[in-house]
Amino acid sequence: MVMNNNISIHKKISNSMKSLVARIVLFVLYRGIKVLAREDSRIMGEFQSWPDGLSVVLETSYNGPSISLQKKGDRLVRVSHSENANIRITFRSIDAAFLVLTGQIGVARAYAEHRFMLSGDICQTMSIVRCIDIAESYLFPRLMTRRILRKVEKKEFSTIRVYRKIFVGV
């Protein structure tokens, strides 16, 4: 009997590269939504409609990088990983997460392709999806968003301003 439990080197490299990129994009996405929840009228509206204390976990695969967020008052904060989040989105592979996080497919397409599993209320998730779509309109180049979003939302201010706030904070 031949065991075959060793992942080959190129898959290993691919996995860790994708994990690294995922970790960075997750951070940018989180900071982006946090900034936009204060500055973009639409995301602000969505965010205010969430119940206080709502917790969301986004996992890029069963063992990949993840991010846990919670609404605390009027702020979105990063919290430590919890098994009991209200909404848990788990990509079925790091490759699937990579497709979405690098803007190769949109969230709607990813849903259509069963790229992630969802536990929690689906209506609540729709609001989060809209926020991600709007955030992507800012964070990704238009060439990309035109292809992956059903509708590219009008930006209320420039992408540069969002990135400046994400990384510099002012």
Partner 1 sequence: MFVPSYYEFVNPGKILSGKYALENIASEFKLLGSSRVFVLSDKVLNELGQVKVLCDALVSGGVQVVGTFVDIPADSSIEVVNRIAEIYRQANADSIVALGGGSVIDTAKGVRMLISQGGNDIMKFVGAEVLPFARHVPFAAVPTTSGTGSEATAVAVIKDGARKLKMEFISQFLLPDLAVIDERFTVSMPARITAMTGLDALTHAIESYSCLQKNPVSQSYARSAIMMIIENLDKCISTPSDRKARLAMANGSLLAGSAFSNSMVGIVHAIGHSLGGVCSLPHGLAMAILLPHCMRFNLEKCDEDYAEILSFCISPEEYAAVPRKERGLKCVEVVETFANAIAHDAGLSLKLSDNRIDKASFEEVAARAINDGAMIVNPKAVSKEDVLAILEAAY
Interacting span for partner 1 (CB under 8 A) from 13-21, 58-66, 119-127, 157-165: 119-127
Number of residues that bind partner 1 (CB under 8 A): 26
Residue 122 binding partner 1, by CB under 8 A: yes
Which of 6, 52, 151, 170 is close enough to bind partner 1 by CB under 8 A? 151
| Of residues 7 and 117, the one with the C-beta less far from partner 1 | 117
Rounded to the nearest 5 percent, the helix, strand and coil shares of the chain are: 50, 15, 35
Residue 123 binding partner 1, by CB under 8 A: yes
CA distance 163 to 166: 5
- DSSP-assigned states of every residue in 65-118: -EEEEEEETTEEEE----TT-SEEEEESSHHHHHHHHTTSS-HHHHHHTT-EEE
Which residues are near partner 1 by CB under 8 A? Answer: 88, 90, 107-109, 111-115, 117-127, 129-130, 149-151
